[in-house]
Amino acid sequence: MTRIIEKRLSLHKTLKKQQQNNDTLKFQISQLQALANIGTTTCMIAHEINNLLTPLGNYAELALSNLDDKILVEKALRKTVRNCRQAGKIMDSMLAVANGETEEKMNSKLSVLVDDIFTCLCRDFSKDRITVNIQIPPDLTIWAVPVQIQQVLMNLILNARDAMLPKGGVLTIKAHQTEQTVQIEISDTGCGIPPNDLKNIFEPFFTTKADKKSANETSGCGLGLTFCKKVVDVHNGSIKVESMPGRGTVFQLSIPKFSEEDPA
Ligand SMILES: Nc1ncnc2c1ncn2[C@@H]1O[C@H](COP(=O)(O)OP(=O)(O)OP(=O)(O)O)[C@@H](O)[C@H]1O
Ligand SMILES: [Mg+2]
The predicted pLDDT at position 214 comes to: 47
Please tell me the distance from the alpha carbon of residue 186 to that of residue 155, in angstroms, as a whole number: 11
Q: Per residue of the chain (264 residues), what is the pLDDT tens digit?
A: 788 888 888 899 999 999 999 999 988 887 887 777 777 778 878 888 888 888 889 899 999 999 999 999 999 999 899 888 888 888 888 777 767 677 789 999 999 999 989 988 878 899 999 999 999 999 999 999 998 899 899 999 999 999 999 999 999 999 999 999 999 999 999 999 999 999 999 998 899 997 755 444 567 889 899 989 989 998 999 999 999 999 999 999 999 997 655 554
The predicted pLDDT at position 91 comes to: 83
Q: To test ligand 1's pocket by mutation, which of 48, 207, 221, 229 has the most ligand atoms within 8 angstroms of CB?
A: 207
Q: Is 133 exposed, middle or buried (0-12, 13-18, 19+ CB in 10 A)?
A: exposed
Please tell me the distance from the alpha carbon of residue 18 to that of residue 68, in angstroms, as a whole number: 75
- Are 66 and 100 in contact by the 8 Å Cβ rule? The answer is no
Please tell me the distance from the alpha carbon of residue 143 to that of residue 255, in angstroms, as a whole number: 8
For helices 224-234 and 70-98, angle between their N-to-C axes, nearest 10 degrees: 60
What are the phi and psi torsion angles at 169 (to 5°)? 160, -155
CA–centroid distance, 14 to ligand 1, in Å, is 50
Domains and CATH numbers, the chain: 36-256 (3.30.565.10)
Nearest CA residue ID for atom 17, ligand 1:
224
Is residue 188 lining ligand 1, measured as CB closer than 6 Å? yes
**Residue 9: CA atoms inside 13 Å, Cβ hemisphere, count?**
6
Nearest CA residue ID for atom 27, ligand 1:
224
